[in-house]
Amino acid sequence: AQAILSRASQSIGPSTQESRHAIHEALAAARFVVYRMSCSVAMPGQMGRSTTLFILRCLMGMALAGLACHRLVVAWDYLSTEAVSEPTRRLGYAPPAVSSSAARCTESQDFPVKGIQYVPHLVGEPYPHPESKPWGHYEKAYSTMHQRDLPLIGGHVGADTLALRPWPTDGDLDLRMGFFEEMRNSGICKVIPTFHAAKYFADMVRQGLDTPETDPSSALAVDFTRFGSSVRQEFLGDITMVGWTIDLSLDLYELLPLVGGDCGSSIITRDTTFQRYMRLLNAIQGWVHPRSEIIKSVAPYLQAKPFLLPLDLSRVSWYEPAFQQKLNTFISCLGKDVTEGGWSSAFSSDGRIPAKWLLSFGQPLHARGVHDRSFLYLLHNISATMRQRAVVMVGTQALTNGILNPINSVNLQEDFDVDNGRYQTPFKDYMSVSSEFGNLDGFVYDEWMDDWDRGARGPFFVAAKTVEAMQENCPNGGRFDHDIHGCSRAVCSDGRIYPEFFGLVGSSSRFLQHCIHPRFSKGLFDGPESKMTETIDMRCEYMAPALPCMTVAVGLMALVLAIQVLSMVRRWCCKEGIAPRSQPQCENAQSQQDAEARSGCVEIRPREGELCGGHRLELFSTRFRSDDEAAWWLSTHVSSQTAILERQVQVEQKATRALKTRKQLRPPVITKSRCSPSPAGGSESDSDDDAPSDLACAMHVVHRRALEGFAAWCDYIAGADLTFVCPHKLDVRCLRSFARSVEENTTRPTSLLFAEALLLRTMESMGEQVISCPERLSFLLFHILQGASGDEESGAVTFSIDMDKLHDGLLQMHKHTNPYMREKMPNGKWELGLNFDDINESGLQCRDQVAKTYKEPASVLVLIDLILCYRVPFMIKMYSFAIAGYIYLGSQRGDDITTSHNGSLWAPKWLRINFIQYIALVDAATWMALEALLVIYVSWQRWPSLGFRSPGIPGLKWFLEHMFNLCISAFGGLWVYSEQRFSRKPWECAQSDIGDPLLRQCIDERTHDLWGVLQYALVYWACRMVIFALMNVKQTPIFIFGTPARKARDESGRGCWARIRLDLRVNLAWMAMLGACMFIEVYMLLPSMKGLDWTTTCGMDLLGPISGLPKERGICTQSTQVISFKCVTCLSSVFAGWMLVFLGALVDIYFIFYLGAALVGGVMGHKRELNDLKNTTIPVDLRVDKGREALLFKRTFGPGWQQVWRVMVKGLSHESLISPKQAIGLVHAAGISMDNEPHGEKAQKPIHLTRFPRLAAERLAFFFQSLKWIESNRETGRNFNTATDALTGDDFDVGSIPSLTQIIPAYNEVVIPAVDFLKAGSDPEDAKNGSPDDQPGLGDLTLPPQGDGVNTNLAFMISQFPDEWCFLAKRLHAEGLIETGESQGLYHSFMKDRLNQESINEIRLWACLRMQSVAKTVIGALQYGRALASLPKIREHYAQYPNKRIPEDHVEVILAHQTYGHSEGSEKNDEAVQLLLARYADDPLYLVFDLKHGSSPELWEMVESFLASRGGYSPGSFVQASVKCRWDKSRRGLRVLEVLPRKFALRLGQGDFRTQGKACNQLNGLRFANGHYVQALDCNMGTFIGEGFKVPYVLRMFMPLDKEDRTAPHCRYLGFREYIYTGREGAVGKCHAAAEWTFGTIYQRFLSGMGMRMHYGHPDFLDGFWARNRGGMSKSSPVVNLSEDIFAGFNVRMREEASPHIDALEFEKGREATFNAASNFFSKISGGSIAVLRSRDNHLLCERIG
C-alpha cells in the first residue's frame, strides 16, 4: 500500500492537505489489517479450543482488508490525472479541455449546435418499448456515469449540446439538477429534450383510435403539461434549451411509395398511420401554440423554442428508383400548411417560432467493409430543395472485417481501433453542405455509447400500424451482446446499417463497473480541441446503490453477522457449560475403571462328548455388579453360541459322511486330505488306524472357517515390520504359530478346536457391534490366546475375556459418531466421532486403545477426494482423449486451419508437432498439481495413523515415490518448455500443403529435423509411461487376504494364474472401451466445436504460438477489451463449450461401459441359452419318458420329479395364481393326480402356458428353461450325476444339502394388511395426503393417501388381479371355508363381516402377496424349507428326530423385527407377526426382536420368566437384549429360545448420526444364525416354491460336491436374478423394473464375468462363516455407510475373494411405484454415492487395485 501511494504521490507532485489525509487514512487501515491478521495467525492459542473463532477472526480480517482496499481506491481517485469526479474538483484539478469548454457557455446559446445524443444506459438495460415508462437516465442514480462521460463530451469531443431521451415527468424535478450542473461544468451548455409521444401513439394503435384523447384530464395532456414544466429555466440552471422534439418519426419505408409527383397527386394523406401521426402532432402543437389568444399555452416554456420534427431517413434504400424525387416531395409537402396545399401545419409560420427538421441518417457499411459516402450526396440534394431549416443527426457504425483470414468470407467484427476519420468525415460533409446552402442549424452524433439492445431501430420510434411493429424486436442478439447479423437493415444493394454500433464509445462491464472505450483520440468538432492528440484510456465507474438501499443492506448484513456471532458464542458457552454437568458421567466412567473388576467363569460343555475337554471361558469387566452377574452374562452367550457352533459341526459332519458315500459311488479318486474318505471299494479296515472321525474332520473344517480371519490377521502382522505397526512389538513366532495352528489343525485336539472357535463366537456375540470390526476382534483374540492358562494334568485351557477392552470404542460411538465435529469424550479429550472402520483399523494397527485413525472429508473436501482417488482413471481417460485429439488434428472433421494438412500420424507437422509438445507440458503441470495436492491432503487425512502400518496408510516409501513423481514432472515440464519449438500455421496452409511455391509458406521447417524437435517431448512421454505403470501396479491383496492359505486359494479358483487371466480379460475390455471412446471423441465430440476457439472466434491470442493457430482479429484483440463484457462473454462461451467437450470426453467412458456391459451381458446370456427364459409360447411337454421337459426334469431332480411337480402346482394353486381346475390339469399332464395317485396317459398332453395367467406362466417358463443350467452346471465346471446329486436320486444323501439361514430384517413395515385397511379407501378423504401427527400444518411431512377415493383398497386390488380373486374364491369353496365360489359374493361377504376368521385371514394373505409386505417376504422365504420338506429323503431323515421341525437343520427363517412389541412399532403389525408365526408354526420360522426400554410389559415378563427358569438371573442385570423365540402351538403363544443381553442399543450414536438401522438389525439376526450360509432378504421380496427346489443346487457353487478341501469356498457372495413384480404398477414401476433388470441382471452378469462384481444387495447368498468373521453382512457406520450393501462387496473384493452372479435362480422383488417414493430412492442412492467417496474402502480400492 505504501509503495502504490508513494508512486502515485510522486506522479502528481505535491498534494493538498486533504489528499494527504486520505493517504494516511488508507495506510492506517492497511496497518490495522496487517496487525489483526498477524495476531490471528501468530496467537492461535488465544482463540480457545473452537476453530470457529479462528475462522471468524479470519473473516473479520478479510473484511478489514477489503475496507482498506476500498480506501486505497478512493485515494487513487484523488490522485488520478484523468478522473473528473467531485473530489478531484475539490482538489482544484481538472483537464484543460474542461475549463476551455466551460468558457463557451457565455457564448452563443442558440443554433447552430454541435451535439451528441446522450443516453447513459448500463450494460443489460433494455431498450425502452413504446409503451414503457421513461428511465431516469439523467437523475442522481446515474451521477457517476455523468461524471465519467460529460467531461469527455465537452472537453475531448468538443460538443456543446446534448440531445436527451425522454425523462420521467412525474418524479422529483430536482433530481436532474445535478446532471445539468455537471453539463455546465463540462462546458456543455445546450440541451434538446424529448417528449415521450411514442407511448400515446401506441395507445391509439392498441385502442384503435384515430384521434388522441386531448381532454385536460387525459394521460397525454397531463404528461405533456408536466413535460413542459420540467424544462423551465429554474430546473435547467445555466443550460439553455435550444429546441425540443419527440421520440416518434414517420415510417418512410411504408409512406414513400404513397408519394406522387406533387402534394395533390399523393395518396399519403389517406394512410391511417399518417393520419394518426399528424393528429397527434397537431394536438401537441396546439397545446404549445394555441390558435386562439384566449386559450393559454400549457407549455409556455416551449413556445419560444423551435420544435424539431424527427424524420428517420435511414428507413429506406437510398438507391431506390425515384427515391430522391419522392423524398423531396415528401419534405416539401410536409413543410407546407394544409391551407397552402400541404399535408401538415407543423411548419406553420403564424407568429410562432418556425419548426425545424431533425433529420436522422445512418451511414451504411458495404459488404466490402467500406463506409458509404453517399451521406454527402443525399444531404446535398435534400438541402438544395428544403425550404425549412434542419438539424442533422448522423450515426456511423464502428465495424471492420476479419481480414486476417483470407479464406473465410467477410466476417464483421467490432472495430476497437481509434479512428477519428470515421466520425469527422460526416461532420465535414455536413459543414460543406451547410456552407453551400445555409439552411442547416446543427449536427448531432447518434449516439454517445453503444446500445446493445437497440436492434434495428433508429434514434426514434417509428409510427407503424401495430405496436409490435413499433417495437422492432430483434430476432437475435440481446441486452448483453451486440448483434451483427439479425438486427440490421439494408439501405442499398450491398450496404447495411447496424445501429448497435453507432456509439462514439464502446460499452462494457467488468468487476461491477461500467466502462466506456473511446473510439476517438481528439476533438471531433472544429475548434481548438481538435488539436488534442493524447490517447483516451478506458473509463470505468461503479454504479453505487442508493444510500437507503446500502443502509438496509449493511444493516441486514450486520444483523446476520451478529446472529452468527451470538450463535457461535452460545454454542461455545453451552459446550463449556455442559462439561460440569457431564462430569458425573466422566466420574462414573472413571469410577468404573477404578472399580474392582468382576469376573465369571463358565465351562464349555457341548453335547458331543468328543468335543468336551474341560476348557473354560472367563469374563472380566468393571461394568457388572457382582461375579454372579458376570457369570450369568457369560453363560447366556456361551450357551447360545455353543448350540449354534455344535449344530454347524453336526451339519458339516453329515456333509462329510454324505460326500464319503458319494465318492464310494463314483470312480476312484486319489485323495490328499487327511480327512478324505478311502478310495472306492476300500473297507474301513483298509484305512489308516489313526484317521480322524467324521466329527473330528468336521470340527477341523469348522475351526478353519471360523478362525480364518484371525489366521489372515496373524499372517499380515507377522509379515509386517512391527517397528512401524505396533507401539510395542508382538511376538512374531507366536503370530505365525497361531496362524499355522488354524491352517494346519488336523493334529490338534478336537475339544481345543471347539473351544477356540467358541471363544471367537462368544466374543462376537458379547462384542455386539464389534462384530463389524474383525481385525479388532483378531487383535483381542491374539492376546487372549497368548495369555491363556492351562491345567497340565487335564489339559484344560482357560480363556479370559476382558469385556471393557472388547467394548472399547462402542461407548465413544454411542456418545459421539459425527466425524466432522469434535466433542468432549469421557476420557476428557476433544475428539472427532468414531466409526467402526476406526475401531477395526485400531486392531490392524495393534493399538491397545481404540482411536480415530482417519479423517472423513466434508464439503468441498469430498470433491478433492474424488479427484485424488480417481486420478489414475482420470489421467488414463485424458491420455485417450489426447490421442483422440492428435488424431482429430488430421481428420479433416473440423475447420480447415485446425484439422487439415497437419501431416500424418507418424510424420506430423504444424499443429500436431505443437500438440505433442504442449500436451507434455499440460501433463507435467497436471501431475505436479495432483502429486502436491495428494501429499498434502493424504498427510492431513491420515495424520492420526502416520507412524503405524496398515493398508492405505502412507509410509516413507509412499512419500518418496510421490515426491519423486512430483520432481520428475517439474523437471520434465521445464525441460520440454526450455527446448520447445512452437510455430504458427499460416492461413494460406489451411487448404494446401504447398501454398505459394515461391514463398514456401506451407513448408514446416521443423519437419526437416523432426526427431530433434520432438525428442524432448517424446523422452518425457516415455518416462511418464514407465513411471505411471510402475507407480500404479496392482497390489495383492488390496486389504488382507480372505483365505490365508495360498494352496486353498489356488484350489478355490483364486490363484495367481487365475488372477492373471482375469486381469488380462479386464484389461482387454478396458482397451476396447477406451478405443470406442476415442472413436466417439474424434467423430462426434471434437467436431462439435468446429472453428470455435479463443483465437479464431474471439481474437484472443492468449497462448501465442503454442496452439499453432494464426492470429485473427476479434472482439478480444485489443488489450483494453479483454475484460469487457462482450469479450468475457465470448471467452466464457467458448470456454463453456470446450468444457462440455472435456467433460463429455471424461464421462463418455461411463456410457460406453454401460453399453459394453449390456452388449457383453446379452452375448453371455445368449451363450447360456437364456434368451427365452420367460417365453410362454414354448409348450411344456411333461409326458413321462417322452416329453423333452419331462426328461430334463427327471435328469435334474431324479425319479421323484413328478412329486416335485405336484408340490409346485399346489404352490401356485395355494397362492391363487391358478384355478383348482387348472391345477388338476397341470398335474395330469405329468401323469399323476393331486392325491399322489398315478394317472392315465390320455390326459398327458403338452402344456400351453399362454392359456394360463401371466405370472404363473412366466414362473413355469423360467423354471423349465433354467433346469439346463443345473444339469450342465457350467458355472462350477463339475459333472452332474442324477443318482447322487439330484434331490430325489436313488443314492442322494441329505447331508449334501448346505444349511441355510434366511434373515429378514424389518422395522415397522406393513406385515399383513389389516381388515380396516382393506375396507378403507372409498371415502374421498382417503385420497388426500395425511399428516403423521393428525395435525396438518404448513411444511409438515405428509403420509400417502389411504386409497383412491372411489374404490376400497381390496376392490382396487381385485381390479388389478380379477382372475386371481376368482381363483381364491374357488379355492376357499373347494376347501369348505365358504358356501359358494362366486367372487362377487366373497367380496360382499367380506365387506359385511359375514366370513369366518379363517376366510378373513386367507383374504388378508391373498392381499399381502400382491403388495410389498413383510408377510410376502416371509412366505416366500419359507418356500425353500417347504420344498425340502416335500422330498422323500428329507422326510426319512427327520423321522429319526421327532422333536425337530422339518427341515430345521437345513434351513431356518429368522424374522428380525426391530420394533416388535415396542412403542415405536404398531399393534397391528405385532398382531400380524403373531398370525404369521402361528400359521407357519410347523415351519422353521423364528422371531428375533429387540428388547429394550419401551418394549411392552408382556414381553419383559415373558423374557424374565424364561431367564428365571434357567437359573442364575437376577432382575436388573440388563436393560436391553436380543431375543429369539418361536411359536408354541401347545401354549398358543411365543416361546423364548435364546436371550443375548446387551450393553448398547442396536443403533449407536445420537440424532442424525446413528448407525444404519437395517445393517444393525441384520447383525441382530446373524448372532442366532445356524446355517453355513446366509441369505438376507429385504421386506419387499418373495419367491415361488419352484425356485426353492433349485436353491440346493445353487448353494453348491460355494462348496462343490467334488471339492476336496472344504475350508475355502469358491466364493463369498452369490448373486442371482430378480424379477420386479411392481413393473405392472404404472410408468414409474415399469421404469424401475427395466432399470433393475438392466443393472441387476445384465450388468451384474457382465461384472461377474470380469471378476469385478460387487455385492449388489439382497437377496444374495453369502458364506455364513465369512459374515461372522469378516465384519457382518454389511457395514453400518453413520454418514459413511449409507449404501451399506456395496461395502460388503468392497470387503469381498479387497480381500481377493469372489462374488459371482448366476441366472438359474430368480426371486421376486418390489420397487418404488410412485414418484415420491422413487424420488426418495434416488436421493438415497445419490447420498450413498457421496458417502462412498468419504470411505477409506474407496481409497484402498482406488490406490491399490492397479
pLDDT, tens digit, for every residue of 276-309? Answer: 999 999 899 889 988 777 778 888 889 889 999 9
The per-residue pLDDT for 117 is 95
pLDDT exceeds 70 at position 760: yes
Q: Is 1530 exposed, middle or buried, given 0-12, 13-18 or 19+ CB atoms closer than 10 A? A: exposed
Query: What's the pLDDT tens digit per position in 1167-1176?
Result: 777 777 788 8
Nearest CA to 52 out of 818, 572, 575, 829 is that of 572
Report the distance separating Cα 1125 and Cα 1103, nearest Å: 21
1573-1576 vs 1701-1709, strand pairing mode: unpaired
Query: What's the pLDDT tens digit per position in 1369-1383?
Result: 999 999 999 988 899
pLDDT exceeds 70 at position 31: no
Please state, rounded to an integer, the average pLDDT across all residues of the chain.
Answer: 84
How confident is residue 189, by pLDDT bands cut at 50, 70 and 90? Answer: very high
When pLDDT is averaged across residues 16-31 and rounded to a whole number, the result is: 45
Contact by Cβ (8 Å): 1606, 1595: no
How confident is residue 11, by pLDDT bands cut at 50, 70 and 90? Answer: very low
Report the distance separating Cα 129 and Cα 142, nearest Å: 21
**Alpha-carbon torsion, ordered 1370, 1372, 1374, 1380, to 10 deg:** -70
Nearest CA to 914 out of 1014, 1015, 1019 is that of 1014
The per-residue pLDDT for 723 is 44
- Higher pLDDT, residue 13 or 1335: 1335
Q: Is 430 exposed, middle or buried, given 0-12, 13-18 or 19+ CB atoms closer than 10 A? A: buried
CB count in 10 Å sphere of residue 207: 8
C-alpha cell read off for 778: 483378531
- Higher pLDDT, residue 1231 or 687: 1231
The per-residue pLDDT for 1273 is 64
Residues in CB range of 1524: below 8 A, 6 or more apart: 1454, 1486, 1487, 1488, 1536, 1537, 1538, 1539, 1568
Residues in CB range of 46: below 8 A, 6 or more apart: none
The per-residue pLDDT for 370 is 59
Q: Is 265 exposed, middle or buried, given 0-12, 13-18 or 19+ CB atoms closer than 10 A? A: exposed
When pLDDT is averaged across residues 1701-1712 and rounded to a whole number, the result is: 88
pLDDT exceeds 80 at position 673: no
The per-residue pLDDT for 2 is 46
The per-residue pLDDT for 576 is 41
Range in 312-326, 333-347, 778-792, 938-952 the model is least confident about: 312-326
The per-residue pLDDT for 1256 is 93
1701-1709 vs 1581-1582, strand pairing mode: antiparallel
Of the chain, the percentage scoring pLDDT greater than 70 comes to 85
The per-residue pLDDT for 1304 is 95
Report the distance separating Cα 311 and Cα 358, nearest Å: 6
pTM of the model: 0.76
When pLDDT is averaged across residues 1384-1407 and rounded to a whole number, the result is: 94
The per-residue pLDDT for 1372 is 93
Residue found by looking up cell 454324505 in the block: 658
Report the distance separating Cα 1053 and Cα 1047, nearest Å: 10
For residue 1362, give Cα distances in angstroms to 278, 1357, 1525: 80, 8, 38
**Alpha-carbon torsion, ordered 773, 775, 778, 780, to 10 deg:** -70
Of the chain, the percentage scoring pLDDT greater than 90 comes to 47
Query: What's the pLDDT tens digit per position in 1413-1441?
Result: 999 999 999 999 999 999 999 999 999 99
Query: What's the pLDDT tens digit per position in 1001-1020?
Result: 788 889 999 999 999 999 99
Report the distance separating Cα 1695 and Cα 1697, nearest Å: 6
For residue 463, give Cα distances in angstroms to 202, 243, 260, 1242, 1272: 8, 22, 21, 97, 89
The per-residue pLDDT for 1239 is 63
pLDDT exceeds 60 at position 670: no
Query: What's the pLDDT tens digit per position in 1197-1226?
Result: 999 999 999 999 999 999 999 999 999 999
Nearest CA to 145 out of 549, 550, 542, 547 is that of 542
Report the distance separating Cα 183 and Cα 161, nearest Å: 9
- Higher pLDDT, residue 15 or 1094: 1094
The per-residue pLDDT for 70 is 47
Query: What's the pLDDT tens digit per position in 1505-1562?
Result: 999 999 889 998 999 999 999 999 988 999 999 999 999 999 998 888 899 888 899 9
Range in 530-534, 875-879, 1634-1638 the model is least confident about: 530-534
Query: What's the pLDDT tens digit per position in 1723-1738?
Result: 888 888 888 888 999 9
Contact by Cβ (8 Å): 1705, 1173: no
pLDDT exceeds 50 at position 74: no
Report the distance separating Cα 739 and Cα 709, nearest Å: 10
The per-residue pLDDT for 1332 is 60
φ/ψ region of 1334 (left if φ > 0, alpha if ψ in -120 to 50, else beta) reads left
Query: What's the pLDDT tens digit per position in 537-575?
Result: 888 887 767 677 778 888 888 888 888 788 777 766 654
Which backbone phi and psi does 751 adopt, to 5 degrees?
A: -65, -35
Which backbone phi and psi does 1527 adopt, to 5 degrees?
A: -85, 130
Contact by Cβ (8 Å): 708, 700: no
CA 318 to chain centre: 59
DSSP β-bridge partners for residue 1309: none
Contact by Cβ (8 Å): 186, 150: yes
When pLDDT is averaged across residues 16-28 and rounded to a whole number, the result is: 45
Residues in CB range of 801: below 8 A, 6 or more apart: 617, 618, 619, 620, 634, 759, 762, 763, 766, 784
Range in 802-806, 1114-1118, 1515-1519 the model is least confident about: 1114-1118
How confident is residue 1684, by pLDDT bands cut at 50, 70 and 90? Answer: confident
Report the distance separating Cα 768 and Cα 1567, nearest Å: 9
How confident is residue 990, by pLDDT bands cut at 50, 70 and 90? Answer: confident
pLDDT exceeds 90 at position 663: no
Residue found by looking up cell 415420491 in the block: 1716
Range in 85-94, 310-319, 899-908, 929-938 the model is least confident about: 85-94
CB count in 10 Å sphere of residue 408: 18
How confident is residue 1713, by pLDDT bands cut at 50, 70 and 90? Answer: confident
Strongest mean pLDDT among 673-677, 829-833, 1490-1494, 1669-1673: 1490-1494
C-alpha cell read off for 1030: 510402475
| Neighbour order of strands in the sheet with 307-312 | 194-195, 244-246, 307-312, 356-363, 390-396, 440-445, 113-118, 161-164, 190-192, 240-241
Residue found by looking up cell 422534439 in the block: 245
For residue 1441, give Cα distances in angstroms to 198, 606, 1445, 1448, 1694: 104, 19, 9, 11, 43
Range in 8-17, 1113-1122, 1306-1315, 1603-1612 the model is least confident about: 8-17
pLDDT exceeds 80 at position 1295: yes
HEC assignment per residue over 1388-1410: HHHHCCCCCHHHHHHHHHHHHCC
